[in-house]
Chain A
Amino acid sequence: MKPAIVPAALLALAAVLPAATRASAAQAATTSSALDAEVRRFFDGLEVAFAEGDPERLFALLSSRFEDDFERNGRARMSERLASVARAGDRIAFDVLRVAAAGDGAATAIVRTRIEGPPRTGPRAAETQVDLFVLRREGKGALVAARRLGLDEAGERRIAGGTYRAADGSFEISTPAGFAIATPRRKVGTAFDTVYLVDPSSDAYVLFVAFAIPYELDSLETLARLDAEKLAALSDEGTTPRVAAEGRFSAAGLEGYELVAQATIGGREQVFRRVCLQRRSTCYQFLCRSAPAEAFARDSASFDEAIARFRLVEDAPPVRRGAVDGTLYRHDDLGFEIGAPAGWAIEEVRSSYSAQVFFTPGSGRAYAMLCALEVGTAVEPESLAAIIDEDEKERRKTVPSIVRRSPIETLEVDGCPARSVVQGYPVEGFERTAKSVYVASGATLFVLILNAPPAEFDALEPGFDALVQSFIRTP
């Protein structure tokens, strides 16, 4: 019998494990009917387990490696999310939006979760979330859930026929045969686009990101070398990644660089192939992963296909841009202008912000940056300190050693309330000092950042302060 009020722990678990299937005929499946039916039985089983409040039955439907590939400490984070969902409603509904089959009886399912009913405690949860589930048969037994990935609904709407088109229409990326395509909710670093291609029948995947290169790189080789260093940092203690191949690479009419390295992570031998393609200040990067390492030879053809099917769209519709005019930058649509010190290069880059502009003081690894973020409602001055705290908390997830080097200070920028803070942290193996100024102006939040190696910071700070003071709103 279904309990009137679902126990909190099970309710929370159900938030990430779909328990019912309401397949939409229109959105269905490019899969064989037998496997499709089995996938739906799997979710029916979850629904029964959920309704009966049987945690053992629920856990039996999970692979031991569930989520391990996506996030470190995935189980701990999942528990945190489960608890928050449990407080947010009393009923959960699931829609299976898309099912795709792969070889060996594996499949992927895109599932929308809805939390219904009044919140039990705390704020109301987000109304829906969409996840990708990878289902795999263990031995000759039934399907189990092997992975879960939270998806970006807006991104999912830009996927059609196995092809993802960028929000600004500037590029397309398509799935190799047998792979599923999805857009993760959680973006990678400063990426403005992230696409995930996954082979449900194996541990192979391609993580594609498009991001603005944050400073003048002397070459893509530098980026590849930094990647190799990052891989070394992720590798198990006592092991050293082995670079198997590297060299120039070109695709989609762009020049790039390729690096293939083998590393031991989490006790597993894995092969990573990273391809970076550069177009002006934008980097398109493919991270292809095979595990175990021996599978790389088999997966390579799919990786090649994924890269070969990437293409730039030349007739992309225009997006809102600002304009550089000598040492000035102005953005008519967002209503602001700013002046850089003489000799600083100005470059606007595409990003997930409403606008993102770099101000580079000559060569080196220092840069200043302005990000404009339209938030929909007026940004209250008293909320700025909380925004800084939240921002730092979020950044701490990827850079745990971030430290605050100054208290939050109050200032005004062009008559707008503002707060500033100085922080220090390592990135890509280098120490950085960052001064951030958060400016509240109506429904737009402006963040100006000076990011520099500590040795250069003091010399550049006056120029940055002048940059901030030149900022005006032109509503």
Chain B
Amino acid sequence: MTFPRPLIPILAAILVAAAASPAPCRDERPVRLHLSDGTQIVCALAGESDAGYAVRTTWGLEIVVPRTNVIAVEDIRSSAATRPTSVVRFELDDTGGAEKTEPRLLRNRGSEPRSEFRFLVAGRPDAVHRADGASVPFETESRPHATVVTVRLKEPVPPGGEAAVAVRTRDPGACARVSAAEAVFRYRRGAPADETAVIQVTLPPGWKSLGTTPAALEVPKGTLLFRRELAQGQSFDVEVRMATSSR
């Protein structure tokens, strides 16, 4: 059995290290962490230690981000807008499919503690993990255009509480083939609340970008990063046109 690889880019480099016990701050301050993989996270900085930065995300998740993965800490206390950051990552392959990694919040709106939750994903789910990389058992049920995923958490979520998981799915039809050597990837993200949407698209090995809408940052080569501040109800449409390098 292979060790499950971490799923969320911003969490990929993050250790949930309760044992690190960073020195607590007297007051939490809102910051934007610029991470080495090009993404950012808006959160409340709760403390610092040699191991890293202890932060609470806008979802309420308390995590420690290793110092080695942080390029810069931007103080946004004076900034008017402190929005949550959503990050969705796609790794495209040359068959036209994509592996998608996304965070999901499981909310318990009931009056009793709950450990079973279900949600829809496009394509086939490969793995569900907690932020610390712990695997979450799940079952699937096929539906038209989607798959119902039912997860059972080890610890029940109290009424009104929520738990974050990362979901990795494989969608065999994520890209539209224009020709044998060209393909187009499109994705729409709508914001349920004001947020910073980050969409990361990794091209298949040996493929190059012919152009994107909107413009993307390509760091490192072959990894496209889209980022936009979205007001509630706005959508973010991205399109990547790509071709094999030999073309």
Contacts from A to B (Cβ < 8 Å): 318-319, 321-332, 335, 337-342, 346-348, 350, 466-467, 469-470, 472, 474-475
Q: Name B193's contact: one of A318, A327, A470 (CB within 8 Å).
A: A318
Nearest chain A CB to B78 CB, angstrom units:
19
B218 within 8 A of A: no
11 CB contacts below 8 A, A to B, read A319-B232, A322-B192, A324-B189, A325-B190, A326-B122, A326-B188, A337-B120, A346-B190, A348-B190, A466-B145, A474-B118
Q: B143 contacts A339, CB within 8 Å?
A: yes
Q: Which residues of B contact A328 (CB under 8 A)?
A: 120-122, 146
Q: Which residues of B contact A335 (CB under 8 A)?
A: 109
Q: B145 contacts A341, CB within 8 Å?
A: yes
Q: Which residues of B contact A466 (CB under 8 A)?
A: 144-145
* Separation of A144 and B145 alpha carbons in the complex (Å): 62
Q: Which residues of A contact B148 (CB under 8 A)?
A: 472
Nearest chain A CB to B102 CB, angstrom units:
7
Q: B144 contacts A469, CB within 8 Å?
A: yes
| Chain B residue nearest to A318 in the complex (CB) | B232
* Separation of A319 and B192 alpha carbons in the complex (Å): 9
Q: A339 contacts B192, CB within 8 Å?
A: no
Q: Which residues of B contact A321 (CB under 8 A)?
A: 190-193, 232-233
Instruction: Given A327-B146, A328-B121, A475-B110, output 8 extra A-B contacts at Cβ < 8 Å.
Output: A322-B192, A323-B190, A324-B189, A337-B120, A340-B145, A469-B144, A472-B118, A474-B118
B90-126 vs A, Cβ < 8 Å mask (1 yes, 0 no): 0000000000001001010110000001111110000
Q: Which residues of A contact B107 (CB under 8 A)?
A: 332
Nearest chain A CB to B176 CB, angstrom units:
9
Q: B122 contacts A332, CB within 8 Å?
A: no
Q: B144 contacts A467, CB within 8 Å?
A: yes
B159 within 8 A of A: no
B194 within 8 A of A: yes
B147-184 vs A, Cβ < 8 Å mask (1 yes, 0 no): 01000000000000000000000000100000000000
Nearest chain B CB to A333 CB, angstrom units:
8
B213 within 8 A of A: no
B6-49 vs A, Cβ < 8 Å mask (1 yes, 0 no): 00000000000000000000000000000000000000000000
Q: Which residues of B contact A330 (CB under 8 A)?
A: 119-120
* Separation of A346 and B192 alpha carbons in the complex (Å): 14
Contacts from B to A (Cβ < 8 Å): 88, 102, 105, 107, 109-110, 117-122, 143-146, 148, 173, 187-194, 232-233, 235
Q: Assuming A332-B192, A339-B122, A474-B119, is B187 touching A326 (CB within 8 A)?
A: yes
Q: Which residues of B contact A469 (CB under 8 A)?
A: 143-144
Q: B122 contacts A470, CB within 8 Å?
A: no
Q: Which residues of A contact B102 (CB under 8 A)?
A: 325
Interface centre among B107, B121, B192 (most CB of A within 10 A): B192
Q: A324 contacts B190, CB within 8 Å?
A: yes
Nearest chain B CB to A32 CB, angstrom units:
46
* Separation of A261 and B156 alpha carbons in the complex (Å): 64
Q: Which residues of A contact B190 (CB under 8 A)?
A: 321-325, 329, 346, 348
Q: Which residues of A contact B192 (CB under 8 A)?
A: 321-323, 331-332
Q: Name B145's contact: one of A319, A342, A475 (CB within 8 Å).
A: A342
Interface centre among B102, B117, B118 (most CB of A within 10 A): B118
* Separation of A323 and B235 alpha carbons in the complex (Å): 9
Q: Assuming A332-B105, A339-B120, A348-B190, is B143 touching A470 (CB within 8 A)?
A: yes
Q: B144 contacts A337, CB within 8 Å?
A: no
* Separation of A337 and B147 alpha carbons in the complex (Å): 11
Interface centre among B109, B232, B233 (most CB of A within 10 A): B233
Q: Which residues of B contact A348 (CB under 8 A)?
A: 190, 233
Q: Which residues of A contact B119 (CB under 8 A)?
A: 330, 337, 472, 474
* Separation of A329 and B119 alpha carbons in the complex (Å): 11
* Separation of A331 and B105 alpha carbons in the complex (Å): 12
* Separation of A332 and B105 alpha carbons in the complex (Å): 9
* Separation of A281 and B112 alpha carbons in the complex (Å): 39
* Separation of A330 and B232 alpha carbons in the complex (Å): 14
Nearest chain A CB to B138 CB, angstrom units:
14
Interface centre among B105, B107, B190 (most CB of A within 10 A): B190
* Separation of A318 and B233 alpha carbons in the complex (Å): 9
Q: Assuming A325-B190, A470-B120, A474-B117, is B143 touching A342 (CB within 8 A)?
A: no
Q: Assuming A321-B233, A469-B143, is B188 touching A346 (CB within 8 A)?
A: yes
Q: B144 contacts A475, CB within 8 Å?
A: no
Q: A338 contacts B235, CB within 8 Å?
A: no
| Chain A residue nearest to B174 in the complex (CB) | A326
Q: A325 contacts B146, CB within 8 Å?
A: no
Q: A327 contacts B145, CB within 8 Å?
A: yes
* Separation of A467 and B173 alpha carbons in the complex (Å): 18
* Separation of A373 and B122 alpha carbons in the complex (Å): 26
Q: Which residues of A contact B88 (CB under 8 A)?
A: 325
Interface centre among A325, A346, A472 (most CB of B within 10 A): A325
Q: Name B144's contact: one of A319, A324, A332, A470 (CB within 8 Å).
A: A470
* Separation of A474 and B235 alpha carbons in the complex (Å): 23
Nearest chain A CB to B222 CB, angstrom units:
22
* Separation of A318 and B143 alpha carbons in the complex (Å): 32
| Chain A residue nearest to B173 in the complex (CB) | A342
* Separation of A330 and B144 alpha carbons in the complex (Å): 16
Q: Which residues of B contact A323 (CB under 8 A)?
A: 189-192
* Separation of A341 and B144 alpha carbons in the complex (Å): 8
Q: A339 contacts B189, CB within 8 Å?
A: no
Q: B145 contacts A339, CB within 8 Å?
A: yes
Q: Which residues of B contact A350 (CB under 8 A)?
A: 233
* Separation of A323 and B193 alpha carbons in the complex (Å): 9
* Separation of A340 and B189 alpha carbons in the complex (Å): 14
Nearest chain B CB to A212 CB, angstrom units:
12
* Separation of A312 and B177 alpha carbons in the complex (Å): 42
Q: A467 contacts B145, CB within 8 Å?
A: yes
Q: Which residues of B contact A331 (CB under 8 A)?
A: 192
